[in-house]
Each structure stands twice: as C-alpha cells, then as structure tokens.
Structure 1
Amino acid sequence: MQVIQHPAETLRTALVSSRCDLTDRYHKYSRKEQRLLEECLYLGDGSLFRPITVHSDSDWIHSHPEDPQDFQRFYSNPYRSKPIKGHGTIYLQIISRWAEAETGQYVRWLRDYCQAFYYRMVVKLLPPVTVAATGCAFRVSSSSHNLQIHAVERNQLTTPGDLLWFLQKRKP
C-alpha cells in the first residue's frame, strides 16, 4: 500500500475554505477555538470547511468510484450501524501471515483513527493471529496479488471457515 504523509498544515489548508473573509476570521481564533470549529462545527453549505481534496492512488474511492453521499442521506439510511447501549468497545484483530504479527506504526494509526472517529468508544487491540490460525478459506487476488480471506457469502449466515464467524467467536 502506498502511504503518503501530509504535514498537518497541508491537510488543514486543504480543508479550510477559499473564501478570504472566512479564512481571515478563522486564523484570528485561538488554536482551541480553531480546533472546536474543526471538530464540532460544520456549516452544511460547505462555506467554512471543504471536502478533503488531498488524495492518493491507494485511496479506496480512487479504485472503487461511488456516488457521493451527503450527511443527511447517510444519517437517514435505515441500515446504518448505530451504537448499542452497553457496547462501548471496538476490538481490532490483526491477522498476519507470520506468527509474530507487526503491530507497528500502521496499527497505531488505525487505532488512533478509530479512537478519534468513534468518539467515546474504547479501542482495544486483540493479540495478533496468523491466517492459518483463523481456519478460514482464502485466495490470492488475481488483480492485486494480495491475500484475501473469505469473509462470508452475501446474504448468508456465518459458518466455520468464514472470517466473520472466526471474529464473532474471538471477540471478548
């Protein structure tokens, strides 16, 4: 996977409006006020914050184009996953080809992202396991040449040999 690291200021600049009156006002705020705006306030007309426009070839949307979805359409989707009372933990399971899986920088980025994105949820790493230990069927993708573990047949219940079955049994 190609990883492009952008300095925080580059990302901040990419998100802030191109309207001079708004950016002048924004830059006069303290860092705490700017952070509040960045994290909590979104003006639906897009005049203050623009969609993220910094992309790389490894972005999902680059290789899997989808119709844009605004917040209202996302929020009103009856199939949208919603928090369930009493379930406040996200478990991350690292599955690797090796017995001692790498739990370095990428995993820390993923954990930190989940912690920030899913506000008030606890994010825990489960001990890494090998692909073989899952007992799941897998294949090598003909296009990417990456290993793909069989998740579950569409519209089917999970069964032994499916990744979702394995994860359900492993979750504390």
Structure 2
Amino acid sequence: MLQCKHAQEFSFGPRALKDALISTNPALQELYVKAFSSAEKLFLSEAYNPQRTLFCSLLIRTAFDWLLSHPDAPEDFETFYHSMLRRKQNFYRKHIYLQPIGNVGQENMVCIISSFFLGLRVKCLPSIPVSSIHCCYRHCRDSDRVQLHADGILNFLKNNKPMDALCVLGLTLLDLYPCETWSFTFSKFLPGQGGICI
C-alpha cells in the first residue's frame, strides 16, 4: 500500500515555462510568432509572467495523486512538435471521428479535440444507441450500474471505421470494464484503430 507523503508543490520559473511553451529553437520561435493570434500570444505570455494568475504552481497532496504514483518525463513544445512530424497522417486518412454512444453531450467537443491534434480534422458521427453495438454488459457489483465490455465496443468501432478515418473515438457516459476481474476502466484503445472512453 502506498504511504501518504507530505504535500508537494511542483513549480517552474518563468524562464523554464517560456522555454517549455515556445522553445529555444529560433525556427520554432518564428513559427510561434507567425502562427498564433494576438489573443493566443497574450494567453501564453501569462505563463512566463512572474506575477501570473494562470499556470499557478500545482499542489500534489498525497502519494495517491497520479503525478506521484505514475511519474512521467516532462515534454516541452519542441519535443511535441518533432514527434508530430514523425506521426504525420496518411493522405487519405486525415480525420479523427467521434462516435457518441447513448446520450453524450457533444457541445464544443470537436473544437476541443481539434486543438490537441494539429493538422487533423475532427468530425462527430451521429449518436448511436447502446443496443446497436451488441456488446457484452454486466451490472457493477458495487453500484448495480450497467457496465459495457470495452472489447465489444472496440470491435464495433473497428468494423464501422470510415475509410478516411485515422481513428475513431467512442464516447459514452456508461461505465466500462476490460475483463471480468477488473471492476472498471476509464478507457481502452486499439493501436492504429481508435478507442473508447468515458
């Protein structure tokens, strides 16, 4: 069992944030100047303002927080930018499709996801009822809520993937489970196909 630790503060100075967001690479700095609007630049400049109110220090309270129990290497903009070049989409497969399953609010979802996947188009498919997927389900032991088997949904998404899709992301408000021994999962993915998440 994890031991509780004292609260830990993750803090980065203005210079470190500026390097992380904009990079020290002159070519990427020039790209930043050309690509972002004045409003976007103003928002990002707040990150390296010593009196900033946005991008505040992050307080990690216990060892159960994700950052302490699952440490990840930090990624700056330059690393992210170069990894995007290696992951260029196929000429024909350049869309991320969202597949709502059941009653899922779709407001602003396309816009939000588009902002994270530069150069790709995001499209929302019509919502489908759970009954049309024909996947296994069960009642959760703890809450008696219905849970859907993630593999059945992934098979449905894979078999109904549009020809121009890079991937399809299924979205549902119902609980998921990956196998009988697990009580739940937040998401599951098939490499190169797509995934399902709650």
Q: TM-score band (shorter)?
A: 0.3 to 0.5
Point out the structure with the larger strand share. Answer: 2
Q: Indicate the structure whose relative CO is greater, using CA pairs within 8 Å and at least 6 residues apart.
A: 2
Per the normalisation by structure 1, the TM-score is 0.48
Per the normalisation by structure 2, the TM-score is 0.42
